Amino acid sequence: MLEIEKNAGFISVRGCDVSLVHTFECGQCFRFNADENGVYKGIAFGRGISMWLDDGLCIGCDEKDFELLWRSFLDIDRDYGAITAALPKDDFTRAAMKHGYGLRILRQEPWEALCSFIISQCNNIPRIKGIIERLCRMFGQPVEYSGDTVYTFPDAQTLAALSAEDLAPIRAGYRAQYIISAARDVNDGRLDFLELDKLETADARRAVTRVNGVGNKVADCFLLFGMGRLDAFPVDTWMKKASGFYPGGFSAEVFGKYAGIAQQYIFYYSRANNVNSG
C-alpha cells in the first residue's frame, strides 16, 4: 500500500519497492549520479532533482511536480513487490533478483532516451555518460539547481540545426551523424512520438528503426525506457539466453543488473502469472 506524504521541500513515498543504486546504476539512464551521502542528483524534464532513501523514497520536489513528472518517471504506481513475489523460486532467479532488486523502469523523455541509446551503441557506460554530459554542456540550456549550474538535454530542434562536425567536441565518433539525422527526423515530423504512442509495439519498432543509426537494439531500449513499453524486448530470446539455453549465456549477476533484461523477466512472469503489473 502506497503512502505518499508532503513534507517541507520533499515528498516521501512509503510502500514502494525501490533501490536507487539499482535503478540509476543499471544503464537505463545516464544523467543521475550519487553524492557522498547516497543522494542521487540528476536532470530530467529540464530541471534538477534529488532523490534519497530515508523511511521510504524521498523526492526533492513539491506535490505538483511529483504528480506531474516524478510519479510517472519512477513508475511509482506499479507494484514491483507483487511482481517479484510471483517470480519462480529457482536458484538462477533468486541470484538474478539479488543483483536487481528494487530496480524500477524509468519513464524518461522520448527524445532524450532515443538520443542516449543511439550514443550507447558499441560503447561503455562511463563513456556514454561523458559524451552525454558534453552534449548537454555544449547545446543544452543552463539551469540553476542546488547552488550549481546544470544543463538540460538539448532538444531535437537545436541538434537538427547542427552538422556532425559541430558535434566533434563531444567525441561521439561515428555516432555523431546518427544523432543529427535522428534529430532532423524528429524536428521535421518524420518521427512523431505522439503518433508512435498510438502504435502497437511491433509497429512502433518498425517505425523507429527507419531512423538512420537505430537498429532493433536501440529501438527496444528507446521503447522500453522512453515510451513505457514493457513489452519492447523480444522476451523469449532474452529468456533463452539468460537461462543458459545458449552456451556463454548471461550470468545471473549480469542478468539481474541490466535493466532491460531483468525487468523483462519480471514482466514476463507477471504476465504469465496474471499478477498486477500496472
Partner DNA sequence: TGCCAGGCCGAAA
Partner DNA sequence: TTTCGGCATGGC
Q: How many residues bind DNA (CB under 7 A)?
A: 33
Establish whether 217 is a catalytic residue.
Answer: yes
Among 13, 57, 119, 221, binds DNA (CB under 7 A): 221
CB of 55 to DNA, least distance (A): 30
Q: Which helix (H) or strand (E) holds 14?
A: strand 11-14
Would you give the end-to-end CA distance of the chain in angstroms? 14
Is 261 a binder of DNA (CB under 7 A)?
Answer: yes
In the structure grid, which three cell numbers stand for residue 230, read together? 514493457
- Taking the least distance from each CB to DNA, the nearer of 60 and 213 is 213
- Taking the least distance from each CB to DNA, the nearer of 212 and 276 is 212
Is 153 a binder of DNA (CB under 7 A)?
Answer: no
Residue 217 has φ and ψ, to the nearest 5°, of: -65, -50
Report helix, strand or coil for 142: strand
Taking CB under 7 A as the criterion, which residues in 40-69 touch DNA? none
How far apart are alpha carbons 107 and 21 in whole angstroms? 17
Is 136 a binder of DNA (CB under 7 A)?
Answer: no
- Given 217, 240, 241, 257, the catalytic residue: 217
Burial of 64 (0-12, 13-18, 19+ CB in 10 A): exposed
What's the full length of the chain, in residues? Answer: 278
CB of 172 to DNA, least distance (A): 7
In the structure grid, which three cell numbers stand for residue 106, read together? 524509468
- Taking the least distance from each CB to DNA, the nearer of 2 and 125 is 125
Sequence-ordered list of residues with C-beta below 8 angstroms from that of 120, at least 6 positions apart, any chain: 27, 30, 128, 218, 221
Is 209 a binder of DNA (CB under 7 A)?
Answer: yes
Among 38, 215, 234, 244, binds DNA (CB under 7 A): 215
Residue 84 has φ and ψ, to the nearest 5°, of: -60, -40
CB of 221 to DNA, least distance (A): 6
Among 17, 19, 21, 27, binds DNA (CB under 7 A): 27
Is 19 a binder of DNA (CB under 7 A)?
Answer: no
Q: Cβ distance 265 to 241 under 8 Å?
A: no
Query: Within 13 Å, how many C-alpha atoms sit on residue 138's CB side?
Result: 15
Among 12, 93, 120, 270, binds DNA (CB under 7 A): 120
- Taking the least distance from each CB to DNA, the nearer of 85 and 125 is 125
CA 231 to chain centre: 14
Is 218 a binder of DNA (CB under 7 A)?
Answer: yes
Q: Can you give the binding site for DNA, defined by CB under 7 A?
A: 26-28, 120-127, 130, 168, 171-174, 209, 211-219, 221, 233, 258-261
What are the catalytic residues? Answer: 217
